[in-house]
């Protein structure tokens, strides 16, 4: 998969997490090679797990952790899912 396509898919993935769309988050995780440490400026350089935690989506947090998300990964100001 080329880098531009991967970034687009991961940008879409972060948006789905932000919206709390559990079914589509699960679908993306099952069908794409999602980098769970991916961040972008639009989401304050937060990982999917930090976004889910800050929005209170516990079910998505659990799913991301089960899929290997790093609970200690933070953004540029060290916000982690534990802090959120």
Task: Return mean pLDDT, the chain.
Answer: 85
- Inter-residue contact 76 to 50 (CB < 8 Å): no
Would you identify the CATH topology of the domain 3-66?
1.25.40
Please name the residues in contact with 60: beta carbons below 8 A apart, sequence gap of 6 or more. 17, 20, 22, 25, 48, 52
Please name the residues in contact with 1: beta carbons below 8 A apart, sequence gap of 6 or more. 9, 33
Q: Is 70 exceeded by the pLDDT of residue 48?
A: yes
Classify residue 45 as left (phi > 0), alpha (psi -120 to 50) or beta: left
Q: What residues does each domain of the chain span?
A: 3-66
Can you tell me the distance from the alpha carbon of 2 to that of 15, in angstroms, rounded to the nearest whole number?
A: 20
Higher pLDDT, 11 or 79: 11
Average pLDDT over residues 3-13: 79
Higher pLDDT, 5 or 42: 42
pLDDT of residue 29: 97
Express each pLDDT in 58-83 by its tens digit.
Answer: 999 999 999 999 888 765 655 555 55
- Inter-residue contact 38 to 48 (CB < 8 Å): yes
pLDDT of residue 63: 98
């Amino acid at each position: 998969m080329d880098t531009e396509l991967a970034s687009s898919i991961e940008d879409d993935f972060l948006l789905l997490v932000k919206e709390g769309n559990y079914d589509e988050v699960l679908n993306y995780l099952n069908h794409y090679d999602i980098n769970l440490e991916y961040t972008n400026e639009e989401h304050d350089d937060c990982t999917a797990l930090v976004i889910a935690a800050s929005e209170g989506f516990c079910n998505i947090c659990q799913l991301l952790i089960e899929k290997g998300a790093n609970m200690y990964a933070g953004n540029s100001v060290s916000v982690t899912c534990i802090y959120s």
